[in-house]
Amino acid sequence: MKKQLLAILLLVSPALVLASSGHLHLDKANIDPTNKESLQRGARTFVNYCMGCHSAKYQRYNRLARDLEIPEADVIDSLMFTGEKIGDHMAIAMTSAAGKRYFGAAPPDLTLVARVRGIDWLYTYLRTFYRDDSRPFGVNNQVFPNVGMPNVLWQLQGWQEPVYKTKKDDYGHEHKVLEAVELKEAGSLTEAEFDRTVRDLVNFLAYMGEPIKQQRMALGVKVLLFLLVFFVVAYLLKKEYWKDVH
């Protein structure tokens, strides 16, 4: 029974995520899973900015090197910093207990986050942090209100401020509602450069969620071509067998 409930939850989780976004518009990530350079840049961003707190414990470094066409020596020099071996999983030293103590909840493993959240959600989420002094880390998020995660990309993006509008509820009471976020202090990247950096990161997260996807799609094309050729041969063979019947 527990296994059945777990399967149901896994099936409906994407729908629940979309429902939790409410009326918020999600920007299109427009990633390109075939762009190896984008994936390589995304891997670099992930290792430098995400792996301090988040693991990718179902992804191996050597699989990353092979799929992204990065020499293993470069992976060791540029993406591995704590003495791991090339065949190790992309794990981190911080334990769940330590993460819960530091952040209030253990930072989740990100290997499958793109499949759970969706690429458009991730792309919008990573770009909509804004300053909020009431929060423990001084930031909030338009997509994920009261998030417990700090804005680790603030040096690249800069600081955004919230833009509120006043709305009346059904009882005539006025409330301030977050409408948008605006960049007030520029970071080290322009807006277009930052968007590309986030797109590359989301592209890499999507790759980790299903590393074999591109090979599977390529195999699917070959299977369809085989079936097409087989159909032609079978049709001609059928005509040859049945030509004398009539």
Segments making up each domain of the chain, as ranges: 25-211, 214-246
Q: Which two tokens stand for residue 122?
A: 């991730």
Q: What is the mean pLDDT of residues 115-134?
A: 96
A 10 A CB-CB count for 194 gives 20
Q: Which two tokens stand for residue 88?
A: 């190790």
**Between 23 and 198, residue with greater pLDDT:** 198
Nearest to 52 by CA among 153, 142, 137, 134: 153
What is the rounded average pLDDT for all residues in the chain?
Answer: 87
Residues 153-204: tens digit of each pLDDT: 999 999 999 998 888 777 777 778 888 899 999 999 999 999 999 999 999 9
Residues 31-54: tens digit of each pLDDT: 999 999 999 999 999 999 999 999
pTM of the full structure: 0.81
What is the C-alpha separation between 203 and 189, in angstroms, rounded? 19
Q: CATH number for 25-211: choose from 2.60.40.10, 1.10.760.10, 3.30.930.10, 3.40.50.300.
A: 1.10.760.10
Q: What is the mean pLDDT of residues 234-243?
A: 83
Percent of the chain with pLDDT over 90: 61
Residue 159's pLDDT is what?
96
> CA 112 → CA 94, 122, 227, distances in Å?
19, 12, 33
Residue 246's pLDDT is what?
60
Residue 20's pLDDT is what?
45
DSSP state of 209: H
Dihedral Cα 210, 29, 39, 211, nearest 10 deg: 0
Q: Is residue 99 pLDDT above 60, yes or no?
A: yes
Q: What is the mean pLDDT of residues 119-141?
A: 96
C-alpha count within 13 angstroms, C-beta hemisphere, residue 15? 5
